[in-house]
A and B are shown apart, each in its own frame.
Chain A
Amino acid sequence: MGWLPWSSSSSSAADKKASDGGRIAPDRSSRAKCYEGRDLFFSCLDRNDILDGIKDDKEARRKCAKEVAQFEEACSQAWVKYFKEKRVMEFNRDKTIERIQKEDADKVQELKSKGWGASK
């Protein structure tokens, strides 16, 4: 591959054509680069209490300008969008699981206090 991992970017990767007309996808090292940019950006969002990088795009760009730039440099547009959406989705999923577990625990407590499952 012609490009160096630290200089690879979405635009150069997207433009990269195979000789038979296909478009070459990011390889392992540029994927790693992209994941790294993503993690840096997301930890910045965490610090600033921002969940949705699409909805709160302006604020995210203002507070995490450097990280956004690096993230968008290292990943293609589609991936940037995908990871931002996934972050929200996973947050909601974890919230839901947490809520269900808490409800379960509360229910167990309630039943126990009513004498269910107590040993005879």
Chain B
Amino acid sequence: MTLTTRAPGLFGQATRSLASTEPRILSLPRHHGPAQCRRAYTPAPRPQPRNAANPLLNSKNFSSSAFLGRDKTMGELKSRNRTGPFSWKAALLFVLTGAGMMVYFKIEKERLERKRIAEMSKGYGKPKVGGPFVLKDLNGNEFTQEDLKGKYSFVYFGFTHCPDICPDELDKMAEIIEKVKLETKDEKLFLPVFITCDPVRDTPEVLREYLKEFHPGIVGLTGTYEQVKNVCRQYRVYFSTPRDVKPGEDYLVDHSIYFYLMDPDNDFVECIGRQDTPESAAKVVLEHIKDWQREGKPLKTE
């Protein structure tokens, strides 16, 4: 009895291996149902010239059966089943292709997710975090938002008289700097910045001494009370520094304790908080840097 129709192999080995499970299904009795479902447009059991001339050429291919139909007996199916459409090559190809696709889709998905976060942070045209400011670096030179452009910058707000959180976070910052430097093999591409919230006490000299203990690469910035207040507002940092302090008065400053990762356009990308370890933070930074490089966008390296 003619069981089903076959077409000569149009697609070669790979197609065969992909369709390899079908003969087992077909060898079951009462297979007409499913077979017909699959080819609703083909009158299923119909007389056709038997052609067993080249069983090796016979490949599973349902779409073309209407045009170049060839028969297959149960015997042929069985013999085909014994040797099997499987070969180790086909199986290997199948597994490798599958694994490759899975890895690729996973990476792509993660990249798109990061891109989405970065894009989302950009808002509609105008960054919500960060903006124009004028401060002074530790050598007394003017430092503005323009000086952050072209690199990934990592902005932290704090003050030197901070009891425990800032020192912890700055130690973390130092580790992140080292990790990023090691990975990118370029220390100029990542710009860590410390902006003081307490300009009265934190003069350039004080800041320099303080930051030296953590990492020599951290750029310290200070300014007048108004300038610092402005930059804190730009970065949405809670600012509570008392304006008029008597000399020698001891006080603390409340402030937000996030690192702000800014891209080379100086748009806000992501926050790094207390919950991040140096490892997880460096990973986030590196991924954004790599995405940026992969998209072929420029980075200042000096």
Contact = CB atoms under 8 A, between A and B. Distances in A.
- B partners with A: yes
Interface of A: 1, 10, 14-15, 18-28, 31, 34-35, 75-79, 82-83
A4 to B, nearest CB: 16
Among B163, B202, B203, B250, residue most surrounded by chain A Cβ atoms (within 10 Å): B163
Contact of B201 (A25, A31, A34, A83): A25
A78 B250 contact: yes
Nearest to A26: B161
B201 A78 contact: no
25 contacts: A1-B209, A14-B248, A18-B206, A19-B205, A20-B203, A20-B206, A21-B203, A22-B207, A23-B161, A24-B206, A24-B209, A25-B159, A25-B162, A25-B201, A25-B206, A26-B161, A31-B164, A31-B167, A78-B250, A78-B251, A78-B252, A79-B163, A82-B163, A82-B252, A83-B163
A-B pairs, 7 with minimum CB distance? A22-B203, A25-B160, A22-B206, A18-B205, A23-B201, A78-B250, A20-B203
Interface of B: 159-164, 167, 200-207, 209-210, 213, 248, 250-252
Contacts of B161: 23, 25-26, 76, 78
A112 to B, nearest CB: 32
Given A25-B161, A25-B210, A35-B164, A14 B204 contact: no
A82 B164 CA distance: 10
A87 to B, nearest CB: 12
Contacts of B201: 22-23, 25
Nearest to A35: B164
A33 to B, nearest CB: 13
A21 B200 CA distance: 9
A6 B110 CA distance: 51
B250 A14 contact: yes
Given A25-B162, A76-B250, 4 more contacts: A22-B202, A23-B201, A25-B159, A31-B167
Contacts of B163: 34, 75, 78-79, 82-83
Nearest to B213: A28
Contacts of A19: 205
Contacts of B204: 20, 22
A21 B245 CA distance: 14
Contacts of B167: 28, 31
Contacts of B248: 14-15, 23
A27 B207 CA distance: 11
B48 to A, nearest CB: 51
